[in-house]
Structure 1
Amino acid sequence: MDVRRADERYRGGDPAAGIESLHAFSFGPHYDPDNLRFGAVLACNEERLAPGAGFDEHPHSHTEIVTWVVEGELTHRDSTGHESLVRPGDVQRLSSAGGVRHVERNDGEVPLRFVQMWLAPLEPGGDPAYEVVHGIADSTPYALPEAAAMLHVRRLVPGERTAVPDARFLYVHVVRGEVLLDGEILRPGDAARVGDAKDLEAVARGEGAELLLWEMAAG
């Protein structure tokens, strides 16, 4: 298990424009040839947007983009005609496939924080696709067959234990709170990269925790 701490993330964004970004993997000007991906995960970015701030229209291709809002509301618009508000508890997926352009903004009156994860598809190309699952339940994994991956959301009360999926590649990101995983304490923004994960469990500490876990078969 390889633990990456929140303070090791690359800082990006444009603070003067109300955008603060923390990158877990090599990203943009923060090139790190030893940290390009884990399993299918290419990026795990924590984004903070001030009211009125956002990312103007920009392109993506050959990437599965999954977004988890922590607080606030995310406005999404894309070149295929989709427009939506994504709120805490919703899972948003944009399959950029052969190419798509989109806008991400905080059009609300309170700060917006979200975690965005990029995964590599098994096959490039195809047609873009978009969906939002509103209020996903802890017991309902979100399948991403295009990347041979499954997202599990865990919201744990203090002291609660949860089984961690067995997987060839397992990526665990702590959204909030603290957990004990295989002897390591993980706090907000920390992540664990586990190869050939088997028979692991996470235990919430303190006031509980919220976790995002990617179960992946390909890398």
Structure 2
Amino acid sequence: MDVRRAEERYRGGDPAAGISSLHAFSFGPHYDPDNLRFGAVIACNEEWLAPGAGFDEHPHSHTEIITWVVEGELTHRDSAGHESVVRPGDVQRLSSAGGVRHVERNDGPEPLTFVQMWLAPLTPGGDPSYEIVHGIADSTPYAVPEAGAMLHVRRLTAGERTALPDAPFVYVHVVRGEIKLDGEELGPGDAARITDAKDWEVLAGSPAELLLWEMAAG
């Protein structure tokens, strides 16, 4: 298990424009050849957007983009004609495939916090696609077959335990709360990268929300 702390993340964004970002992997000008990916995950970005702030239209290709809103509302528009508002509890997936452009904004009255994770597809190219699942139930897995991955969202009460998937690669991101994993205490923004996971479990020290990626290949 490789634990990465919140304070180790690369700082980005544009604070003057109301955008703050923290990157868990090599990203943009923060190039780290030893931190390019884990399993299929190539980015795990924590984003904060002030009301009225956002990312203007920009391109993506050959990437599975999964977004989880923590607080506030995210407005999404893309060049394939999809437009939606993503709220806490929703899972949004944009499969950029051979190429797509999109806009992400905080058009709501409150600050927006979201986690966005990028996964490398097993096969590049193809046609872009979009999906949003509103109010995904706790422990309901969300499959991203294009990347050979499965997302598990867990919301735990204090003292509750949950098993991690048995898989070649498991990525754990703590959205909120405090947990204990194999003797290590993790808090908001902390992450664990586990190889060959088998019979692992998490203990919540406080009410917690976790994003768990189960992946077959790296």
Q: TM-score, normalised by structure 2?
A: 0.99
One-letter code aligned to 1:145: P
Shift of 1:218: 1.0
Shift of 1:204: 0.5
The residue number in structure 1 matching 2:133 is 133
The residue number in structure 1 matching 2:159 is 159
1:93-151 C-alpha deviation (Å, 9 max, x unpaired): 00000000000000001000000000000000000000100000113100000000000
RMSD: 0.4
Overall identity of the aligned pairs, in %: 85
Q: Which runs of 5+ in 1 are unaligned?
A: none
The residue number in structure 1 matching 2:208 is 209
Structure 2 Cα separation of the partners of residues 181 and 137 of structure 1: 23
Structure 1 Cα separation of the partners of residues 162 and 94 of structure 2: 29
One-letter code aligned to 2:177: G
1:147-205 C-alpha deviation (Å, 9 max, x unpaired): 00000000000100001101100000000000011111010000000000010000100
Aligned residue pair count? 218
The residue number in structure 1 matching 2:17 is 17
One-letter code aligned to 2:193: R
One-letter code aligned to 2:150: M
Structure 2 Cα separation of the partners of residues 126 and 183 of structure 1: 43
After TM superposition, list the pairs within 5 Å mapping 1:8-87 onto structure 2. Answer: 8-87=8-87
One-letter code aligned to 2:70: V
Q: Which runs of 5+ in 2 are unaligned?
A: none
Q: TM-score, normalised by structure 1?
A: 0.99
Structure 2 Cα separation of the partners of residues 131 and 149 of structure 1: 16
Structure 1 Cα separation of the partners of residues 185 and 135 of structure 2: 28
